[in-house]
Amino acid sequence: MRSLGLNEILFILAAARWTLLLSACAFVGGSVGGILIALMRSGRIKALRWFAFGYIKLFQGTPLLMQLVLAFFVPGIFGIDVNPWGAAALGLSLHASAFLGEIWRGSIEVVPRGQWESSAALGLRYWSQMRLVVLPQAFRIAIPPTVGFLVQLIKGTSLASIIGFVELTRAAQVINNATFHPFTIFGIVGLTYFALCWPLSAYSKRMERKLALASR
Protein backbone atom coordinates (compact mmCIF):
# COMPACT_ATOMS: atom_id res chain seq x y z
CA MET A 1 0.00 0.00 0.00
CA ARG A 2 1.43 3.36 -1.00
CA SER A 3 0.66 6.78 0.46
CA LEU A 4 -1.76 9.25 -1.08
CA GLY A 5 0.27 12.12 -2.53
CA LEU A 6 0.04 14.94 -5.03
CA ASN A 7 0.75 12.68 -8.00
CA GLU A 8 -2.18 10.43 -7.13
CA ILE A 9 -4.53 13.41 -6.74
CA LEU A 10 -3.37 14.87 -10.06
CA PHE A 11 -3.97 11.51 -11.72
CA ILE A 12 -7.58 11.58 -10.54
CA LEU A 13 -8.12 15.19 -11.60
CA ALA A 14 -6.52 14.56 -15.00
CA ALA A 15 -9.04 11.79 -15.62
CA ALA A 16 -11.79 14.43 -15.53
CA ARG A 17 -10.83 15.36 -19.09
CA TRP A 18 -11.94 11.91 -20.24
CA THR A 19 -15.22 12.37 -18.39
CA LEU A 20 -15.76 15.65 -20.25
CA LEU A 21 -14.69 14.22 -23.61
CA LEU A 22 -16.94 11.18 -23.23
CA SER A 23 -19.83 13.43 -22.19
CA ALA A 24 -19.28 15.64 -25.23
CA CYS A 25 -19.16 12.68 -27.64
CA ALA A 26 -22.27 11.13 -26.10
CA PHE A 27 -24.12 14.44 -26.22
CA VAL A 28 -23.25 15.03 -29.88
CA GLY A 29 -24.18 11.47 -30.82
CA GLY A 30 -27.32 11.66 -28.72
CA SER A 31 -28.27 14.97 -30.31
CA VAL A 32 -28.08 13.51 -33.82
CA GLY A 33 -30.17 10.51 -32.80
CA GLY A 34 -32.43 12.63 -30.61
CA ILE A 35 -33.52 15.00 -33.35
CA LEU A 36 -34.32 12.02 -35.59
CA ILE A 37 -36.35 10.37 -32.83
CA ALA A 38 -38.16 13.64 -32.08
CA LEU A 39 -39.06 14.16 -35.74
CA MET A 40 -40.25 10.57 -36.07
CA ARG A 41 -42.36 10.85 -32.90
CA SER A 42 -43.99 14.08 -34.05
CA GLY A 43 -44.23 13.12 -37.73
CA ARG A 44 -47.13 11.85 -39.78
CA ILE A 45 -45.83 8.38 -40.65
CA LYS A 46 -47.38 5.92 -38.22
CA ALA A 47 -44.67 3.23 -38.56
CA LEU A 48 -41.93 5.73 -37.70
CA ARG A 49 -43.92 7.04 -34.74
CA TRP A 50 -44.24 3.53 -33.35
CA PHE A 51 -40.56 2.78 -33.96
CA ALA A 52 -39.52 5.93 -32.11
CA PHE A 53 -41.97 5.16 -29.30
CA GLY A 54 -40.51 1.66 -28.86
CA TYR A 55 -36.95 2.96 -29.00
CA ILE A 56 -37.64 5.51 -26.26
CA LYS A 57 -39.39 2.98 -24.04
CA LEU A 58 -36.54 0.48 -24.49
CA PHE A 59 -33.75 2.85 -23.47
CA GLN A 60 -35.70 4.69 -20.81
CA GLY A 61 -36.98 1.47 -19.31
CA THR A 62 -33.64 -0.35 -18.94
CA PRO A 63 -30.66 0.54 -16.72
CA LEU A 64 -27.84 2.54 -18.30
CA LEU A 65 -25.36 0.12 -16.73
CA MET A 66 -26.90 -2.78 -18.67
CA GLN A 67 -26.86 -0.74 -21.89
CA LEU A 68 -23.13 -0.05 -21.50
CA VAL A 69 -22.36 -3.70 -20.80
CA LEU A 70 -24.31 -4.78 -23.89
CA ALA A 71 -22.62 -2.11 -26.03
CA PHE A 72 -19.27 -3.58 -24.95
CA PHE A 73 -20.01 -7.30 -25.31
CA VAL A 74 -22.64 -7.65 -28.04
CA PRO A 75 -20.42 -6.47 -30.96
CA GLY A 76 -17.95 -9.21 -30.02
CA ILE A 77 -20.61 -11.82 -30.79
CA PHE A 78 -20.46 -10.67 -34.42
CA GLY A 79 -16.66 -10.53 -34.49
CA ILE A 80 -16.44 -6.76 -34.06
CA ASP A 81 -13.75 -5.65 -31.64
CA VAL A 82 -14.91 -2.66 -29.58
CA ASN A 83 -12.64 -0.98 -27.04
CA PRO A 84 -14.02 0.51 -23.79
CA TRP A 85 -13.93 4.03 -25.24
CA GLY A 86 -16.00 3.09 -28.30
CA ALA A 87 -18.45 1.01 -26.27
CA ALA A 88 -18.95 3.79 -23.70
CA ALA A 89 -19.49 6.41 -26.41
CA LEU A 90 -21.93 4.16 -28.28
CA GLY A 91 -23.91 3.13 -25.21
CA LEU A 92 -24.20 6.66 -23.85
CA SER A 93 -25.10 8.08 -27.27
CA LEU A 94 -27.97 5.59 -27.69
CA HIS A 95 -29.11 6.31 -24.15
CA ALA A 96 -28.93 10.08 -24.70
CA SER A 97 -30.78 9.93 -28.02
CA ALA A 98 -33.81 8.35 -26.34
CA PHE A 99 -34.01 10.99 -23.62
CA LEU A 100 -33.19 13.95 -25.85
CA GLY A 101 -35.65 12.70 -28.45
CA GLU A 102 -38.45 12.72 -25.88
CA ILE A 103 -37.41 16.12 -24.51
CA TRP A 104 -37.36 17.64 -27.98
CA ARG A 105 -40.59 15.92 -29.03
CA GLY A 106 -42.29 17.53 -26.05
CA SER A 107 -40.80 20.91 -26.98
CA ILE A 108 -42.11 20.59 -30.54
CA GLU A 109 -45.60 19.73 -29.32
CA VAL A 110 -45.63 22.70 -26.93
CA VAL A 111 -45.42 25.09 -29.89
CA PRO A 112 -48.98 26.51 -30.26
CA ARG A 113 -51.11 24.85 -32.89
CA GLY A 114 -51.84 28.24 -34.34
CA GLN A 115 -48.22 28.43 -35.54
CA TRP A 116 -48.76 25.30 -37.62
CA GLU A 117 -52.02 26.61 -39.02
CA SER A 118 -50.57 30.02 -39.86
CA SER A 119 -47.57 28.53 -41.65
CA ALA A 120 -49.85 26.13 -43.54
CA ALA A 121 -51.97 29.08 -44.61
CA LEU A 122 -48.82 30.62 -46.08
CA GLY A 123 -48.37 27.54 -48.25
CA LEU A 124 -45.51 25.92 -46.33
CA ARG A 125 -45.25 22.13 -46.45
CA TYR A 126 -44.53 19.98 -43.39
CA TRP A 127 -40.71 20.05 -43.50
CA SER A 128 -40.65 23.77 -44.28
CA GLN A 129 -42.99 24.35 -41.35
CA MET A 130 -40.65 22.40 -39.07
CA ARG A 131 -37.48 24.09 -40.29
CA LEU A 132 -38.68 27.67 -40.51
CA VAL A 133 -41.41 27.98 -37.90
CA VAL A 134 -41.65 25.17 -35.36
CA LEU A 135 -38.07 24.08 -34.64
CA PRO A 136 -36.73 27.61 -33.90
CA GLN A 137 -39.44 28.03 -31.26
CA ALA A 138 -39.04 24.49 -29.92
CA PHE A 139 -35.26 25.00 -29.62
CA ARG A 140 -35.76 27.90 -27.24
CA ILE A 141 -38.18 25.90 -25.11
CA ALA A 142 -35.89 22.86 -25.07
CA ILE A 143 -32.76 24.60 -23.75
CA PRO A 144 -33.41 24.23 -19.97
CA PRO A 145 -34.36 20.51 -20.00
CA THR A 146 -31.57 19.74 -22.47
CA VAL A 147 -28.96 21.34 -20.22
CA GLY A 148 -30.49 19.53 -17.27
CA PHE A 149 -30.11 16.22 -19.07
CA LEU A 150 -26.49 17.06 -19.95
CA VAL A 151 -25.80 17.29 -16.21
CA GLN A 152 -27.25 13.80 -15.76
CA LEU A 153 -25.19 12.56 -18.70
CA ILE A 154 -21.95 13.83 -17.17
CA LYS A 155 -22.73 11.98 -13.95
CA GLY A 156 -23.80 8.92 -15.92
CA THR A 157 -20.32 8.59 -17.44
CA SER A 158 -19.20 7.22 -14.08
CA LEU A 159 -20.89 3.93 -15.03
CA ALA A 160 -18.43 3.53 -17.91
CA SER A 161 -15.92 2.38 -15.29
CA ILE A 162 -17.71 -1.01 -15.27
CA ILE A 163 -16.39 -1.79 -18.78
CA GLY A 164 -12.87 -0.59 -17.98
CA PHE A 165 -12.99 2.96 -19.34
CA VAL A 166 -10.70 5.09 -17.16
CA GLU A 167 -12.66 8.26 -16.48
CA LEU A 168 -12.94 10.15 -13.19
CA THR A 169 -14.61 7.42 -11.14
CA ARG A 170 -12.44 4.61 -12.50
CA ALA A 171 -9.27 6.61 -11.84
CA ALA A 172 -10.44 7.12 -8.24
CA GLN A 173 -11.04 3.39 -7.87
CA VAL A 174 -7.53 2.61 -9.13
CA ILE A 175 -5.92 5.06 -6.70
CA ASN A 176 -8.11 3.92 -3.81
CA ASN A 177 -7.13 0.30 -4.38
CA ALA A 178 -3.47 1.34 -4.14
CA THR A 179 -3.71 3.77 -1.20
CA PHE A 180 -6.97 2.91 0.60
CA HIS A 181 -8.07 6.44 1.43
CA PRO A 182 -11.70 6.21 0.27
CA PHE A 183 -13.03 9.23 2.15
CA THR A 184 -10.40 11.61 0.77
CA ILE A 185 -10.34 10.17 -2.74
CA PHE A 186 -14.06 10.01 -3.33
CA GLY A 187 -14.50 13.34 -1.59
CA ILE A 188 -12.23 14.81 -4.28
CA VAL A 189 -14.23 12.99 -6.95
CA GLY A 190 -17.50 14.35 -5.56
CA LEU A 191 -16.17 17.91 -5.53
CA THR A 192 -14.90 17.50 -9.09
CA TYR A 193 -18.30 16.33 -10.34
CA PHE A 194 -19.89 19.23 -8.50
CA ALA A 195 -17.50 21.69 -10.17
CA LEU A 196 -18.37 20.22 -13.58
CA CYS A 197 -22.13 20.06 -13.09
CA TRP A 198 -23.07 23.03 -10.92
CA PRO A 199 -22.46 25.74 -13.57
CA LEU A 200 -24.68 23.82 -16.00
CA SER A 201 -27.40 23.37 -13.37
CA ALA A 202 -27.28 27.08 -12.55
CA TYR A 203 -27.52 27.96 -16.25
CA SER A 204 -30.50 25.64 -16.70
CA LYS A 205 -32.37 27.23 -13.79
CA ARG A 206 -31.62 30.73 -15.09
CA MET A 207 -32.98 29.80 -18.51
CA GLU A 208 -36.13 28.38 -16.93
CA ARG A 209 -36.71 31.66 -15.08
CA LYS A 210 -36.20 33.65 -18.28
CA LEU A 211 -38.67 31.49 -20.19
CA ALA A 212 -41.19 31.77 -17.35
CA LEU A 213 -40.94 35.57 -17.43
CA ALA A 214 -41.16 35.67 -21.23
CA SER A 215 -44.33 33.56 -21.23
CA ARG A 216 -46.22 35.92 -18.90
Give pLDDT, residue 79: 85
Give pLDDT, residue 63: 96
149 occurs within a structural domain: yes
Q: Give the pTM.
A: 0.90
CA distance 139 to 93: 20
Give pLDDT, residue 114: 82
**What residues of the chain score a pLDDT lower than 50?**
none
Any idea what the CATH number is for the domain that residue 62 is in? Answer: 1.10.3720.10
Q: Are 196 and 19 in contact (CB under 8 A)?
A: yes
161 occurs within a structural domain: yes
Domain that holds residue 142: 6-214
Q: What single-letter DSSP state applies at residue 43?
A: S
148 occurs within a structural domain: yes
Give pLDDT, residue 212: 66
Give pLDDT, residue 28: 97
Give pLDDT, residue 96: 97
Q: Distances from the Cα of 164 to the Cαs of 7, 10, 68, 125, 180, in angstroms?
A: 21, 20, 11, 49, 20
Give me the number of domains the chain comprises. Answer: 1
Q: Are 167 and 161 in contact (CB under 8 A)?
A: yes
Give pLDDT, residue 81: 87
Give pLDDT, residue 162: 92
152 occurs within a structural domain: yes
Give pLDDT, residue 203: 87
CA distance 209 to 38: 25
1 occurs within a structural domain: no
Give pLDDT, residue 214: 59
Give pLDDT, residue 213: 60
